[in-house]
Amino acid sequence: MIGLVHTCTLQKRHRMQKLTYTGPAGTATVGQTVTGKTSQKTAVISQLVTGYLVVKTLSGTFTNGEAISTTTWSGTLGTQTDYVNQSGEYQYYWSNDQLLVPCRLYYSGGGGRNAKGEIIHETGQLLDQPLKVALPTTCTVDALEYRVVSTVLGFTGTYDIATLYPLSGPSAITHYEAVLRKVTV
């Protein structure tokens, strides 16, 4: 396996949840933590809508019918379901899943690169080679469900995993190679 000389954080994608409620008292605020009295599960309020809360960063599944509250609001939970926006699309959030994962960030191909990592072909044409990362088989990773966050000089940023390949040696998979695409905010 190639030398894993860098470290990165792998983030996992989660669906936001919709918590319906009845009997509200007080005022909830975006950013507050809502807690289930019975389940002791928590979530952070992302959006306030009449009759339900849109939440992220869940610690688990709440119990239907339990009392839920923040420091300034309370109600009774009806149901917890995946949140779907008005266009019928699931809404997602990302959380750090695996920290200090050994990796190697690199551009494929030979020398002759400019500052953007583009290869300068012998004809003078710029060939844009994607950023790649090598990851150990001990990590959990999947295209679309995970992304890479790097603080390595020259590779700093958050990257979607465009494609993911298991690479094999003589007898087993030795590491994963992922083609990355920078996330623009």
Give dist(CA 77, CA 23) in Å, integer.
9
Q: What is the pLDDT of residue 143?
A: 87
Residues linked to residue 43 through DSSP beta bridges, in sequence order: 34
Q: Which residues of the chain have a pLDDT value below 50?
A: 1
Q: What is the pLDDT of residue 2?
A: 62
Residues linked to residue 44 through DSSP beta bridges, in sequence order: 33, 56
- Gyration radius of the chain over CA positions: 22
Nearest-5° angle of CA 176, CA 3, CA 7? 75
Q: Which of 64, 10, 5, 12 is nearest to 36 (CA)?
A: 64
Copy the structure tokens of residue 142.
Answer: 């999947």
Q: What is the pLDDT of residue 171?
A: 82
Summarize pLDDT for 53-84 with one digit per residue, the tens.
999 999 999 999 999 999 999 999 999 999 99
Give dist(CA 21, CA 28) in Å, integer.
12
Q: What is the pLDDT of residue 88?
A: 95
Residues linked to residue 133 through DSSP beta bridges, in sequence order: 105, 178
Q: What is the pLDDT of residue 149?
A: 97
Q: What is the pLDDT of residue 168?
A: 84
Q: Which domains does the chain have, with CATH numbers?
A: 6-12+96-182 (2.40.10), 17-90 (no CATH)
Using a 10 angstrom Cβ sphere, with 0-12 exposed, 13-18 middle and 19 or more buried, the burial of residue 157 is middle
Q: Which of 106, 101, 114, 150 is nearest to 132 (CA)?
A: 106
Q: What is the pLDDT of residue 109?
A: 62
